[in-house]
Amino acid sequence: MAHEIEQFTDGTAAFASANTSAWHKLGTVTDGAMTAEEAMSLASLSGWNVRLLPLTATEITADGTTPLEVPQHFATARTHPKTGRTQTLGVVGSDYYPVQNEEHAEFLNLLADESGAHFETAGSLKDGRQVFLTMKLPQTLTIGGNDDVDLYIAASNSHDGGSAFRIIVTPVRVVCANTLRAAIHGARSSFVVRHTAGAKARIAQARSALGLTFKYADEFEQAAQRMIQEEMTLNELRSVVDELWPVKKDSPRARTNQRQRWGAISNLFEHAETQAGIRGTRWAGYNALTEYANHVAPALGKNDAEKASARAERVISGAANDLMEKAFALTTV
């Protein structure tokens, strides 16, 4: 399992963790919570000055070499945190706007001030092409008396044009590339900021939106507690399914899709291991619906790998968010 944490020739690594060492045993572990400044410094994320450099190509002919400008494209580069030298990271278009690691941390720091959350992990992946910072929310959701879920706010950013600046609410503690992918895949909520000139404004909008998360967490816990104490029959669940996925055209194919969908959801509701301890409740019904929408519903692709990738993208993009909100409203009635 590759961690992809950036490692330096002096034996150090670009990773910091509060209180607990990560499985890869790299980086610095602190005693107690970290401030934004400590997270940035200990994870070697400070002073990168990510910037755009003109991109050129060299044509080799019998007469020698000729430099050629590559229009509308630039190389992203940083100042290496250990050597101080310029290091190229990727190739981007003319509308790309670098989001500095300091801006990344500033966003989370403002959110931490409002919530009481503390910085938990920070790191650089893929030789600086991707970075992450996470903080742990101060509250723990307790569902049914025994389902404790620690929640984290994780923010990831790429400096090679590979992905947007992304902020997610997740139960996954991010410590490496694999856990970052898992966090994105299973995110409770997600906000994306594209690398354009208006990125700073959109980061502010995302911060405002994520500020609702703390109120949401309290309301979500109360609703979940009620749902776990209320029974739900198969007929009640079927009524919710029919409202979420109405059959708009009566055809053999539509009826087949409806039958297969109900078979999958009812199987999750009655037999899935994820329902252990909550089976037969409205909370179980809601979980069966969300598990189907995110991970089971048919996805486009020529093979299993492509279909799995499409399902992951569906979760990351939040394509099923509206449906899950409606499912929550219907199952809490």
pLDDT digit string (tens) for 246-294?
887 778 888 888 999 999 999 999 998 877 788 999 999 988 988 888 7
Residue 199 has pLDDT above 80, yes or no: no
Max mean pLDDT range (103-112, 123-132, 277-286): 123-132
Residue 236 has pLDDT above 70, yes or no: yes
* Higher per-residue confidence, 225 vs 7: 7
Please give the backbone phi and psi of residue 136, each rounded to the nearest 5 degrees, phi first: -100, 130
Q: So what's the pLDDT on residue 318?
A: 46
Residue 299 has pLDDT above 70, yes or no: no
Question: What band does 45 get if pLDDT is binned at 50, 70 and 90?
Answer: very high
* Higher per-residue confidence, 330 vs 217: 330
Handedness of CA 77, 80, 83, 88 (dihedral sign): negative
Going from the C-alpha of 136 to that of each of 67, 172, 204, 275, 294, the distances in angstroms are 50, 10, 20, 26, 25
Q: So what's the pLDDT on residue 212?
A: 40
Give the least confident one: 71-85, 113-127, 289-303.
289-303
Residue 77 has pLDDT above 80, yes or no: yes
Q: Work out the average pLDDT over 133-160.
A: 73
Q: So what's the pLDDT on residue 305?
A: 63
Q: So what's the pLDDT on residue 62?
A: 80
Residue 64 has pLDDT above 70, yes or no: yes
Q: Work out the average pLDDT over 193-209.
A: 64
Mean pLDDT of the chain: 81
Residue 315 has pLDDT above 70, yes or no: no
Q: Work out the average pLDDT over 98-102.
A: 91
Give the least confident one: 1-15, 190-204, 228-242, 281-295.
190-204
Q: So what's the pLDDT on residue 320?
A: 56
d(CA 234, CA 246): 17
By CB atoms closer than 10 A (0-12, 13-18, 19+), residue 190 is buried
Q: Work out the average pLDDT over 55-70.
A: 84
Max mean pLDDT range (107-111, 187-191, 249-253, 295-299): 249-253
Q: So what's the pLDDT on residue 69?
A: 85
Residue 181 has pLDDT above 90, yes or no: no
Question: What band does 217 get if pLDDT is binned at 50, 70 and 90?
Answer: low
Residue 68 has pLDDT above 80, yes or no: yes
Q: So what's the pLDDT on residue 208?
A: 57
